[in-house]
Amino acid sequence: MRLTLTSLIAAMIASPAFAADGPFFSLRNSDFVVLISFLLFIGVLVYLKVPGLLMGMLDKRAEGIKTELDEARALREEAQTLLASYERKQKDVQEQADRIVAAAKEEANAAAEQARKDLAKSLERRMAAAEDQIGSAQSAAVKEVRDQAVTIAVAAAREVIAKQMTADDGNKLIDDAIEQVDAKLH
């Protein structure tokens, strides 16, 4: 009804309607005939409840749009939740990767330190073994020199004694040695 009154007022205010020749409320006036036709058309539309149907369709369309907006909003919120979840997971994975890298560095440093210690111990053992070998070689050399000195001294003493000793002195020494052995055995 409101639409009809609005249309009627618009038609009466329209300036082209007043531009026609002759009386306005005559069937010979084309503007008046158009106005009546328009009003009848509006009346038929109102009688057939077309404005209600249009309003219903518009309301239905508005509800559909509202439903789609609500669904879009829900999807957006779900997408934001998923994004936040993935960002948290990415952050957790990055932190875990950082921890793994740090642990690997610590293990590498520990392994390097252990290798240094093992190398130092190995060098110490080799140095000790080398010093032992040097000491053994030195002892062997000293013993060999002593043995040579004793051999040379015995040979020199034998020569000196052989030159200075007579047969009677030799027999006397042999008799003394036999007496010493006999005394020790009994």
What integer pLDDT is reported at residue 63 of this predicted model? 96
Alpha-carbon distance 89 to 97, whole Å?
A: 12
Which phi and psi (to 5°) does residue 23 adopt? Answer: -70, 145
With the C-alpha atoms ordered 39, 45, 49, 55, is the resulting torsion angle positive or negative?
negative
Closest CA to 4 of 33, 47, 34, 68: 47
With H, G, I as helix, E, B as strand and everything else as coil, classify residue 183: helix
- pLDDT tens for 60-92 read 999 999 999 999 999 999 999 999 999 999 999
* pLDDT tens for each residue of 2-26: 556 666 565 555 545 455 566 887 8
**Two structure tokens written together for 180:** 């010493």
* Tokens encoding 23: 């009386």
- Say which residue the tokens 């020749």 belong to: 21
Q: Residue 9: its pLDDT value, please?
A: 63
Helix (H) / strand (E) element for 84: namely helix 50-164
pLDDT band at 106 (very low <50, low <70, confident <90, very high): very high
Per residue in 35-52, pLDDT (tens digit) is: 999 999 999 989 999 988
Show the tokens assigned to 90. Answer: 């990415």
Count CB neighbours of 35 within 10 A.
19
The pTM is what?
Answer: 0.39
